Amino acid sequence: MAEKKLSGQTAIVTGANSGIGEGCAYSLGAAGANVVINYVSKPETAQAVVDKIKADGGNAIAVQADVSNEEQVIAMFKEVVKVYGTVDILVNNAGLQKDAKFEEMTVAQWDLVMNVNLKGQFLCAREAIKEFLRRGIVPERSAACGKIICMSSVHEIIPWANHVNYATSKGGVRMFMQSLAQEFGDRKIRVNSICPGAIKTPINTDAWNTPQALNSLMTLIPYNRIGVPEDIGKLAVFLASDDSDYITGASIFIDGGMTVFEGFATGG
Ligand code: NAD
């Protein structure tokens, strides 16, 4: 039987009833972690993820919380500690886009993206870190006191016209992650970001659901395929496990080479 690198550890994955979060939940479950499927809407899809993890021999529960709501985030962590005893891993994945031409962007569109993509990461990381520090290191489970994985994007470094709120939030995630890694390194809390390129999920359907759209997307991706949530899940397991024990404060790009700027392949 394959070694289960995360046995006995508990992972909260925010926004885990769709796309990348769902992919991370399956990979973490297969690696032996108890997985908390956080969701804000569509409880039936969260339950389906729980059922699939359990059918594959893992442990999972679904917990509702809007990550941008302080009370709900605190309540979620309380419930998880009640059920599983502690939290070892947080995957700060929940995120959304509200795209608009900049001059037409409403305050509501700006605030929603900042509240979910940035404040949500703050609220969840704060509760996770409090719990990590309360529990301390358990050497049988992990060399680290806790692991936080922030779902960022290639847009933490690639500017994105007509998506200014989203790109700004991901640029913020980069500094958020690095500052946390600096503040908590001596307490053995590792904080890293995953920066996906184009991954096939509901957030970017328009980029891949017609052959024309997919062809145009491929002009940005040297490796010439769109990513899938499982690609991200494998990286999340690595960053959550002691295999990456000397990695903290890192943004890991997982993008089929998008950040080498394919458009310049012919000399610019
Ligand atoms: P998705 O729309 O499939 O999933 C987003 C998830 O976040 C959903 O489960 C949604 O319900 C949840 N969510 C939204 N608001 C929430 C809230 N207030 N509280 C709790 N959950 C909430 O999209 P995805 O592509 O899986 O995106 C996941 C993350 O990956 C996001 O942070 C996104 O910015 C990032 N990302 C995606 C891509 C991509 O190509 N798909 C690329 C780079 C980064």
Render pLDDT for 20-31 as a digit per residue (tens, 0 to 9).
999 999 999 999
Which entry of 84, 166, 223, 246 is annotated as an active-site residue? 166
Q: Which residue has the tokens 């610019």?
A: 268
CA distances from 146 to 15, 93, 188, 190 (A): 20, 17, 7, 6
pTM of the model: 0.98
Mean pLDDT of the chain: 97
Q: What is the pLDDT of residues 187-224, one digit of tens each?
A: 999 999 999 999 999 999 999 999 999 999 999 999 99
Continuous segment of H or E residues that includes residue 90: strand 89-92
- Determine the longest span between alpha carbons in the chain, in angstroms: 58
Residue 168 to residue 160: CA distance in whole angstroms: 9
In the chain, count H helices and then E strands: 8, 7
- Is residue 39 annotated as a catalytic residue, yes or no? no
State which ligand 1 atom lies nearest to the alpha carbon of 21: 26
Pocket test for ligand 1, best of 17, 148, 201 (most atoms within 8 A of CB): 201
Residue 2: the pLDDT is 58
State which ligand 1 atom lies nearest to the alpha carbon of 166: 34
Task: Work out the burial of residue 204: count CB atoms within 10 Å of its CB; fewer than 13 is exposed, 13-18 middle, 19 or more buried.
Answer: middle
Q: How far is the CA of 24 from the centre of ligand 1 (A)?
A: 12
Ligand 1 contact via 93 beta carbon (within 6 Å) = yes
All residue ranges of the chain with pLDDT < 70 are 1-2
Q: Which residues pair with 64 in a beta bridge?
A: 39
Structural domains of the chain in order of their starting residue, each with its CATH number = 10-264 (3.40.50.720)
Residue 189 to residue 183: CA distance in whole angstroms: 9
Ligand 1 contact via 193 beta carbon (within 6 Å) = no
Residue 267: the pLDDT is 83
Q: How far is the CA of 93 from the centre of ligand 1 (A)?
A: 6
Q: How far is the CA of 70 from the centre of ligand 1 (A)?
A: 19
